[in-house]
Structure 1
Amino acid sequence: MDFPVTFQIFGKTVLAHPVFETLGIFIGMRYYFYLKRKSSDKLSFNTSAAILIGATAGALFGSKLIGNLENPYALFEKFSLKEIWSNNTIVGGLAFGLIGVELAKKIVRHKESTGDLIVFPLMLAIIIGRIGCFLTGIHEETYGVPTRFIFGMHLGDQYLRHPVALYEIVFLILLWIYLNRIGKHSKFPSGFVFQLFMLSYFIFRFLLDFIKPKVEIIGNLGTIQLVCIGVIIYYIYKIKNTRDLMYNQKTIEI
């Protein structure tokens, strides 16, 4: 296979990454609306609209902010609006999308968790997007460092590199299977599957970035890893509270 894989769209050569990213978002959203129609939990129009706007605005802002802060030195050396707009990361999108949703829920005074329904559509969108990352090779910063590991691949230069996009796809498929089993148990409260997804994904991304090129900000940690640490701490706290609540409910029933 030759990298990068490109497509001819309206007479222009387009990299695989934006094509699959757009496709992932579209299919993920269609899957979400499909699950929403089947769900017994019905939200009012105002609540649904507020959550969707909060999630979208937070994700867009966060993906651009953290994407540009991955290499803050380059940002200040060569200021370019086109470059700023093109830099994004799913880690920032997830972290700030969460903040956007929580703010929106406070505005409409909705206290119940709304995250479980989005977990599998979100994972599907990421998987499709990562196919595009892999097919783009080294032409966008979604590749791994050189390696002699058995899974090393030529991604467009002379080096064997970690195919980190494929690692992430495999991880998400395994996580999908696990969370699907968890979700079938009614004993877990609403929002627990989403909490497990966020904790698992951010732990994975924290570890994965050790085999990706990055600008070290603190010690040998990059910006994405620092964001991951904050989210991991938050969800360890959230899951602990959820488990304590489940234990107290069982104690009351006994």
Structure 2
Amino acid sequence: MSGAFLHTVFDIAAWLAAAVAVYWLSRRGLRFPAQSFELPYVAALVFGTGIGAYLFGSANLWLSGQSGIARSVEGALAGGIVAIELYKWNAGIALRTGARFALPLAVGIAIGRLGCYFAGLDDFTYGTPTALPWGHDFGDGILRHPVQLYESAAMGAFALLYVLAVLNQGAFTITNGFYLALAYYGAQRFLWEFLKPYGTLIGPFTLFHLLSLSILLYAAVMLATAPKARPLHERAVA
């Protein structure tokens, strides 16, 4: 079974798991802002994630001395954030609309990164050489950091903690879950980037180092300015 086929299978599984996560949240009695379900909002989100995915993914290839077109999960995330913030600004929406994406984001990345792992060298998401016992040979005879698995495990852990917060009705975590997910994602992604063979942009930092810091900063600002969390029963989650 080819790596490309497995990658596609896990991509589909990631989308399905994200959809299941949204359904599970709704079954817990949480109601999310209606604006995040409206067609223009969804269209802006899809457009932004698509542009960001290919823009940053392809730029990273170029900076790493390679040609071609590539996609990036982090690029998609950044593009989606920018697109939605611009859409909300243009539509005069002051309400925070990201809460329902926290669990789907974490679950989707945790599963999707498994596809990157099975895709091997062609995916260009593998790690740098390592002598550690869990180093993986992706087909070129070199043991490398399985950074895809590192990220998958990290986001899986966040998903688990988030689920526990929902079960315990943790108002702050649920209300600000998306920004907590972004902060966590940006921090762990920044660390893994040191273990990837990407071309640097500023000093020892790659394009994705800088993007990770930008996402982390955005999340920090949103968390610092978050309104006080209130009990979640019978009200929309912002």
Q: TM-score range with shorter-chain normalisation?
A: 0.7 to 0.9
Indicate the residue corresponding to 1:56 in structure 2: 46
Cα 1:210/1:105, change in 2 over 3 Å: same
Indicate the residue corresponding to 1:11 in structure 2: none
Indicate the residue corresponding to 2:214 in structure 1: 230
**Letter paired with 1:95:** A
Displacement of 1:138 in angstroms is 1.6
Identity within the alignment, %: 25
**Deviates further, 231-240 or 99-108:** 99-108
Cα 1:170/1:190, change in 2 over 3 Å: closer
**Letter paired with 1:219:** G
Cα 1:181/1:73, change in 2 over 3 Å: closer
**Letter paired with 1:196:** L
Displacement of 1:103 in angstroms is 2.2
Query: The residue matched to 2:172 in structure 1 has which SS?
Result: coil
**Deviates further, 39-48 or 130-139:** 39-48
**Letter paired with 1:102:** E
Q: Is the 8 A contact 1:144 1:211 kept in 2?
A: yes
**Greater Cα radius of gyration, structure 1 or 2:** 1
Q: Does 1:130 align with 2:113?
A: yes
**Deviates further, 203-212 or 233-242:** 233-242
Q: Does 1:246 align with 2:213?
A: no
**Letter paired with 1:188:** F
Root mean square deviation of aligned Cα: 2.7
Q: Is the 8 A contact 1:50 1:105 kept in 2?
A: no
Structure 1 gap segments, 5+ residues each: 8-13, 248-254
Displacement of 1:209 in angstroms is 0.7
Provide the rounded CA distance (Å) in 1 between the counterparts of 2:207 and 2:165: 31
Q: Is the 8 A contact 1:50 1:108 kept in 2?
A: no
Query: The residue matched to 1:101 in structure 2 has which SS?
Result: helix
**Letter paired with 1:148:** A
Q: Does 1:6 align with 2:2?
A: yes
Question: Scaled by the length of structure 1, what TM-score is found?
Answer: 0.79
Indicate the residue corresponding to 1:250 in structure 2: none
Cα 1:56/1:127, change in 2 over 3 Å: same
1:219 to 174, 191, 203: 203
Encode CA deviations 1:229-252: one digit per residue, 9 max, x unaligned: 11212222222222xx439xxxxx
Q: Does 1:163 align with 2:153?
A: no
Q: Is the 8 A contact 2:14 2:111 kept in 1?
A: yes
Q: Does 1:98 align with 2:81?
A: yes
Indicate the residue corresponding to 1:180 in structure 2: 163
Structure 2 gap segments, 5+ residues each: 230-238
